[in-house]
Each structure stands twice: as structure tokens, then as C-alpha cells.
Amino acid sequence: MGEPLVVMKDVNKHFGDLHVLRDINLEVASGEVVIVIGPSGSGKSTLCRTINRLETFESGSITIDGDPLPLEGKSLARLRADVGMVFQSFNLFAHKTILENVTLGPIKVRKEKKADAERHAMELLERVGVALQADKYPAQLSGGQQQRVAIARSLAMRPKVMLFDEPTSALDPEMINEVLDVMVQLAKEGMTMVVVTHEMGFARKAANRVVFMADGQIVEQAPPSDFFTNPQSDRAKDFLGKILTH
């Protein structure tokens, strides 16, 4: 693997008095799949969201494919187009059809022709298994289908890296696998991914590395097999003890 695609260096962030990110140093290589886990409130979502600057940070630096995160405006928008983001609550555009959800970015940001964007969008919807729903509105789809559309919407921008913030935790249990299957497939095809999730199955199947966070710090990182069987820190042991019992 070459030059790291995402580099976070000494990143610090506060929400008021709360120090949510403490000296975060993280590198994600091209093609790598990194899982972020940790207790609630440890800063996983915030870490994910600073990478495409949905959250600002006070000190340190973040670069994507060698380019530092711009502060504002056009260049920030351009960078965000290269960084896909999949949210816990899907956030599909409620007033647009499934197809329009997927073509909006390519047409408005990448300036693709409508016909080309639609052809590509249909391919992607086919791939995630919701092509038949193309003309429906988000509210007419199940959660699992909506989340797969959200993944297709991100993919339509041909991103360099994709961020997932607990993509399956708002889903009914029977829909979790249909979303995870799509993500495993993506990982196999070499997509660079940062995934906040507590799905151990996915971590074992697709991840190259697990990053464990607690209290705004990265406490430990290791390949999934090592981390789950032989965690080093007490915080991680404690945390795994809690989530693996049920």
C-alpha cells in the first residue's frame, strides 16, 4: 500500500468544555478498511465527521490524499465530493426520488450529463439491490433499502474514501445483513473505508484494523483477530467484556 490516503495529525477538538478529540493521530492507507469502536460518547462520530469537516477542529491537521482540509467554500466542497459519508439515519433527500438522490451530486458537483449520471446511478442501484425502487421516494422504502441507496449515493461521486457512522444501528435486525453484505463487497473491491460500528461480524470479515477509542483518545489499534481475542488495554478489555456477553 502506498502513501496514506487519510492522515490525522495531533487533532484536538472541544465542544465547549468537553475535550472530545485528544491528540488524534490516525493514518488510513489506500484500500484499507478501518473499524472504529468504543463506548458511547467516546468521540467516534466526531472523529468521523471531522474527516470531511462536518465538524471543525481547533488544532492539528487532516489531509486527504495529500491535500490539507480547506477551511471554507468551493475547495472544501470539492474535497467533500471525494469523501463519501453514510449516516446512521440515512439522510436521503426526502423530496427527491431514489434515482434523483443518486444523480444529484454527479450532475451538480461533477457536472456529468443527466443521461450519463442516470446510467451510472442505475448500475449502482442494481449493485446494491434497489434498482426496482428507482422512481419511489425515500419514505416508501424500508430502512435497509434506504441505507443501501445512501451507499449508492456516495458511490456515485466515485469517492476516494468512504466514512460510515454506525450505518446499521438504526435498522431492524433482519435488515442489518443486507447492508453489511454491500459493505463487505465494497471492502473486497478495494474501497478505502472508515467504519464506526459495533458489528463484530463485519469487523472480522472485512476490516484490516480496529481502532479503539475511549474518552476522546485512540487507546489501542490492532488487526481485528488480535484485538478481539487479545486486547491490551484495560479499557478495551472492559469494553469487549461488556459487548461480547450479549
Ligand X SMILES: Nc1ncnc2c1ncn2[C@@H]1O[C@H](COP(=O)(O)OP(=O)(O)OP(=O)(O)O)[C@@H](O)[C@H]1O
Binding site for another protein (CB under 8 A): 52, 54, 73-74, 77-85, 87, 89, 91-95, 104-105, 108-109, 137, 139-140, 150, 153-154, 157
Among residues 193 and 218, whose Cβ is nearest to another protein? Answer: 193
CB atoms within 10 A of CB 181: 15
Least distance from C-beta 53 to Mg ion, angstroms?
Answer: 17
Distance of alpha carbon 187 from the chain centroid:
12
| Encoded amino acid at 110, one letter | R
Q: Binds 212, which of another protein, Mg ion, ligand X, none (CB < 5 to 8 A, cut-off by type)?
A: none
Q: Residues with Cβ < 8 Å from 240, sequence gap 6 or more? A: 228, 231
Contact (Cβ atoms closer than 8 angstroms) between residue 6 and residue 24: no
Q: Of 50, 13, 54, 28, give the one whose Cα is nearest residue 211.
A: 28
Provide, rounded to whole angstroms, the least separation between the CB of residue 93 and ligand X. 22
Beta carbon nearer to another protein, 15 or 238? 15
Q: Which of ligand X, Mg ion, another protein, none sits in contact with 121, Cβ below 5 to 8 A by type?
A: none
Cell readout for 152 is 449508492
Which residue number, 18 or 243, has a Cβ lying nearer to ligand X?
18
> In the complex, which residues of this chain contact ligand X (CB under 6 A)?
15, 18, 20, 38, 40-46
Element spanning 95, H or E: none
